[in-house]
Amino acid sequence: MPNNPIPEQIPFQNIPPGTSTTEYVVKLISFLEHNLPLFPKEKTLHKTQNENDLTEELYNFLTRKAWLTNSPFVFQPEKSQKRPNQKGHAKRMDIATKINTLDIDMELIYCLEAKKLPTDKIGGKREKEYVEGKGGAIERFRNEVHGLDDQGNLLSPNGIIAYVTENSFQHWHEQINLWITDVPWPSNECLNCEYFSSIGKLTSNHLRVSGSNLDLIHFWVNI
């Protein structure tokens, strides 16, 4: 049997060697936009499933799609997130995305937090958790608890997945923007709609506690 040397380049044809991290993120966002509409069609999902169960289903779905399409991404569930010299226990990100290279330390390029909409009943403690609170999705990114690479460096952009089980995308767009201004955060941190179709895609820009800029992409899926 010939002794074949280990190839030096990433073994994928759809992204050429020398591609920058930014280009990988662009490819990842395209991958998500293409495949997320298939998630509720190809998986047996129920509105009554809790957030963690839906995220487990999503992780399995994305992993399979990446393998089937020879995409250069590896998805890691419940990824530990911790800043350098941070004390206490690390928080965990729902799904982290790494570049699938020959390097054993695959580069983490993108973090996804997942939330169910609604998160709680009207007036419940967790009602506004998409935005703020102990498990607040946007707030965790703003506070630099989420959105970190393996060295604790800040990433941008990052993403939020919403499993929409009640009401329309338009309803949640208006509601979440109302919660943002009620915090109060600046109105320029409100979500901007790119499109509402089989999925919803929105964007937002925020100021982290350190003063750095944070871009978030919001992917909404009807369950």
Considering only 9-13, 112-116, 126-130, 173-177, which range has the smallest mean pLDDT?
9-13
Cis bond before residue 2 (omega within 30° of 0): no
How far, in Å, CA of 200 to CA of 218, rounded? 8
**What's the pLDDT band for 11 if we cut at 50, 70, 90?**
very low
Residue 111 has pLDDT above 70, yes or no: yes
Average model confidence (pLDDT) for the chain? 88
- Averaged pLDDT, 207-216: 95
For 51-76, the pLDDT digits (tens) are 999 999 999 999 999 999 999 999 99
**What's the pLDDT band for 13 if we cut at 50, 70, 90?**
very low
**What's the pLDDT band for 19 if we cut at 50, 70, 90?**
low
Q: Could you tell me where the beta strands, DSSP code E, fall in 8-157? A: 73-81, 91-99, 108-117
How far, in Å, CA of 71 to CA of 84, rounded? 31
Please give the backbone phi and psi of residue 51, each rounded to the nearest 5 degrees, phi first. Answer: -60, -40
pLDDT (0 to 100) of residue 74 = 93
Residue 109 has pLDDT above 80, yes or no: yes
Residue 102 has pLDDT above 50, yes or no: yes
Beta strands 199-207; 192-196: pairing state: antiparallel
pLDDT (0 to 100) of residue 9 = 37
Please give the backbone phi and psi of residue 14, each rounded to the nearest 5 degrees, phi first. Answer: -85, -10
